[in-house]
Amino acid sequence: MGERSLTILHEVSFKVNDGEKVFLCGPSGAGKTSLLYTLAGLEAPTAGEVWIDGRPLYALAGMEQARVRNQIMGYVFQNYGLLPEFTALENVMLPSIIAGHPEPDRAASLLNRVGLGNRLGHRPAELSGGEQQRVAIARCLVNSPQVVFADEPTGNLDAKTGSAVMDLLLDLASEEKRALLVVTHDSRLAARGDRQLHLEDGRLVD
């Protein structure tokens, strides 16, 4: 930050196994989102390494990093991150289009599985918050990633809708046998995972 140096994460080290559901908890400002961005290849660390599928992510060339993010990782943003001019079907298809093999049938199947089979042609502005988040979940799964990152996926939703969205995310991760790493401040949601990690002031604590 200008001439100031601010260290966000300190000696953070852990492993997530195939198919494991891990919840990353901690107070606001603890560094949860920064950690998720770093793990997902969106924010390069100034020290340390991120390994995925047996390879150090940030040692890969730029195009290979992009391929890993597109095909091996899925990401669910708190603010949905949908393109407003695209329909639900087009938004879900987007990662497969970028990968060079459009998957309209899989995209439609995923939208049907998240309860939006009758909303394929709707744009984000025509969907509720919960529906937009379900589109985002379907999109993150379209390329069959090995690991799914979700940053406060229920943070913008009311309690009932948020619980339903989390049910969906956990169920789909189990069905698709994906590792899942979720950032949340809600201890009740976190209790539904296989394991919890607690971050305070940029450090993992017991």
Which pLDDT belongs to residue 100? 94
What gap in Å lies between CA 11 and CA 204, rounded to an integer?
8
* Spatial contact of 184 and 156, defined as CB atoms under 8 Å apart: no
Which pLDDT belongs to residue 44? 93
For 143-188, the pLDDT digits (tens) are 999 999 999 998 888 888 888 888 888 988 888 888 999 999 888 8
Which pLDDT belongs to residue 173? 87
Which pLDDT belongs to residue 1? 64
Strand duo 21-25 + 179-183: pairing: parallel
Q: Which residue stretches of the chain have pLDDT < 70?
A: 1
Task: Determine the CATH number of domain 21-205.
Answer: 3.40.50.300
pTM of the model: 0.92
